[in-house]
Structure 1
Amino acid sequence: MRTGIANLPLHGGKAPRWLFQRMTRLAREITCHLVAEYGSREVLLRLADPYWFQAFGCVLGFDWHSSGVTTTACGALKEGIRGLEQELGLFAAGGKGAASRRTPAQITDVCEALGRDPAPLVQASKLSAKVDNTALQDGYQLYHHSFFTRDGQWSVVQQGMNDGNGMARRYHWLSEGLHSFVVEPHAAICCDRRQASLNLVDRESESAREAITEITRRPDREVAKTLAALPTLEMPRHHLLDAADIRPGQLRKVLLQTYERPPRDFQELLATPGPMSLT
């Protein structure tokens, strides 16, 4: 299930090397302590909590509210546990930009080393990204995807950006409690901005999901023909009406009606039934 969302100001640049090295060492010690005290499952649970993750980034020493806390904290954690994965029972894949696209290959490498089937985890990685990037169209394009796993369980931390409002949005996922990727997989949404969005994973969108799936089963020519036959209304950019916007035939009907029954004033003209009626 998706466990939460965080909205952050979109900042450019990257963490200084000296800071990232310190963050990496601290991330390693925090993770080792969590595993020793609570087990690796607890790490996944906490990474799936947007508030805990934000605090984690602050403790590591990064900017408290920047979009960069997501990519930097995930990167520091991935580097911090490098070489300790077997001991901790925790593995990390993915990252920012090009690194995010290598997530399936990295998951496969880990699973092959452990003698596990990578297919379920690769599918979980791809579907969680597809949901937040395609099935939920909220104006944020994903550019970061980090995947953390243990014994087949997993947690995802991914982030999208919206250049229009200068904000980034972070999405958290957890395999525990997930029943469906396409029917309300979100357990919580934490944000201070609302805007129109297309949510195809809402329970009420079932008919839309079925219709979209049915369309893909039909012959491509049939679908193309249907789309071509759809009526299209093209409105001009100008506001004032000119002669080109008037249909003479329709205007003649109006004038004939008003000529036969002349209105006494403009109010009566507006109340005239038929083409001039506003009701």
Structure 2
Amino acid sequence: MKRSGSADLPLHYGQVPKWLADRMAKLGLAITESILVEYGQQEILRRLSDPFWFQSFGAVLGMDWHSSGITTSVMGALKRAINPRSKELGIYITGGKGKHSKETPAELMKIASATGLDGMELVRCSKLSAKVDNTAVQDGFQLYMHNFILTANGDWTVVQQGMRTEDKTARRYHWHSSNLQSFVEEPHTGVCGINQGAILNLTAAEAKDSRQGMLQLTLEKPELMMQEIQQLIMPRHHDVRAENVDLKRLGTTLWLAQENQVSNFEELLLMEGVGPRTVQSLALVSEVIHGTPSRFKDPARFSFAHGGKDGHPFPVPTMVYDETISNLENAVQKAKLDFSEKQDAIKALHTIAARAEKDFTPNNNFDQLLEKERNESWMYGGKTVFGDAKPPRKNKNNVQLRLW
């Protein structure tokens, strides 16, 4: 097994409101099923083991685009949605935050009993991944969350997170059982990050003597598991800024969502009747399902699908969110019956936008875009943890402020 990457995130507290948690579970399940139908179980594990994809996935689900809360909320939503259908889907999620993380061994043994997998080996892998991140590399982060995701074939991914209360930061660690690198099209061989002073790294060559002493106890070699390939470091600022987004890629998504674009492409004829705002969300969801690794280097862009619960970049448009879920669920169900036209139409949103990038020039009107989304949020049932979005104030001539 190997560590496939990590992510550094600002530590955020607070609860996910029920209106968002329920939608996250439904959309998370629909996206998972879409990937299963199109690419299979192994791809689910590879995606979850990639820190950039995971962050983009959380942003599409309406979580704060950069905060530590994405980890616990996304995994909690997936566990609630997937586990009741694990036998059908062939995907199982164990563990969780706090006391739930300690239930992982018992959950794995129960799954092993039902599937015939080697439960003791799964428990061993679960404990080792936690031991390495909590002990072998003492970087100041104490684990408080551990999720072990596995398939009916015994392949697995670990998503776990630690916190460092002194500077209010969290670090998420990703592990993958496969011998193949996650997203092989773009492998990373180095790690860069913010210098935060000296750490105790028991996987370093200089720590050989200390490590040998520990190995007498653990009978394992942490350095064989510490093949980290990716590290995502998120900024501390809460708002979404232009520098956080690939404006060319976002611009093509917005261009595709214009009123007249659906009828311009034969591949999108089945999208007729879907509003332009929903097309915008579906295009970003399509990329999460079908996009290649290089397209997830700016996770903030995916918050333009369904906003964020704290209002960044804008309130969650619940009506659009529900339409996205409905369209994706409908496509998945038809694909299972060998009617894949709807699934193909959603996939085409991503491919058409990707093709258009070559000749697309963004207008650099990012601030105007944010203002437009916020002004119109109330029209789409916009919500945040602070309440419902309100219509924009009117100016002295009693005309509603509109930027586009």
Fold shared per TM-score above 0.5? yes
TM-score normalised per structure 1? 0.71
In the TM superposition, what are the counterparts of 1:14-93 in structure 2 within 5 Å?
14-93=15-94
> What whole-Å deviation, never above 9, does each CA across 1:147-192 have from its counterpart, x for those lacking one?
10111111000000000011000000001129xxxxxxx9764644
> What whole-Å deviation, never above 9, does each CA across 1:30-68 have from its counterpart, x for those lacking one?
000001100010000010000000000001111101110
Indicate the residue corresponding to 1:239 in structure 2. Answer: none
Q: What is the alpha-carbon distance in structure 1 between the residues aligned to residue 217 and residue 29 of structure 2? A: 49
Indicate the residue corresponding to 1:154 in structure 2. Answer: 156
With over 3 angstroms needed to count, the CA separation of the structure-2 counterparts of 1:155 and 1:188, relative to structure 1, is farther
Q: What is the alpha-carbon distance in structure 1 between the residues aligned to residue 189 and residue 209 of structure 2? A: 22
**3-state DSSP class of the match of 2:15?**
coil
Of 165, 172, 175, which residue of structure 1 is paired with 2:174? 172
Offset of residue 12 of structure 1: 1.0
TM-score normalised per structure 2? 0.49
Q: Give the paired residue count.
A: 210
With over 3 angstroms needed to count, the CA separation of the structure-2 counterparts of 1:188 and 1:145, relative to structure 1, is farther
> What whole-Å deviation, never above 9, does each CA across 1:185-220 have from its counterpart, x for those lacking one?
x9764644443111112355333211344699xxxx
1:199 and 2:201 aligned? yes
Q: What is the alpha-carbon distance in structure 1 between the residues aligned to residue 98 and residue 110 of structure 2? A: 20
**3-state DSSP class of the match of 2:203?**
coil
Give the structure with higher Rg (CA): 1
Unpaired segments of 5 or more residues in structure 1?
A: 179-185, 217-279
Q: What is the alpha-carbon distance in structure 2 between the residues aligned to residue 215 and residue 120 of structure 1? A: 18
> What whole-Å deviation, never above 9, does each CA across 1:42-99 have from its counterpart, x for those lacking one?
0000100000000000011111011100000011111111222122211100000010
**3-state DSSP class of the match of 2:209?**
helix
Unpaired segments of 5 or more residues in structure 2?
A: 181-187, 219-404
Indicate the residue corresponding to 1:264 in structure 2. Answer: none
- Structure number having the greater helix percentage: 2
Of all paired residues, the percent bearing the same amino acid is 51
With over 3 angstroms needed to count, the CA separation of the structure-2 counterparts of 1:126 and 1:189, relative to structure 1, is farther
Q: What is the alpha-carbon distance in structure 2 between the residues aligned to residue 145 and residue 136 of structure 1? A: 16
Offset of residue 104 of structure 1: 0.6
**3-state DSSP class of the match of 1:157?**
strand
Q: What is the alpha-carbon distance in structure 2 between the residues aligned to residue 72 and residue 188 of structure 1? A: 29
With over 3 angstroms needed to count, the CA separation of the structure-2 counterparts of 1:93 and 1:42, relative to structure 1, is same
Amino acid of the structure 2 residue aligned with 1:211: G
**3-state DSSP class of the match of 1:65?**
coil
Q: What is the alpha-carbon distance in structure 2 between the residues aligned to residue 215 and residue 65 of structure 1? A: 38
Amino acid of the structure 2 residue aligned with 1:122: V
Offset of residue 27 of structure 1: 0.5
Indicate the residue corresponding to 1:259 in structure 2. Answer: none
* Matched-pair contact (CA < 8 Å) for 2:138–2:199: yes
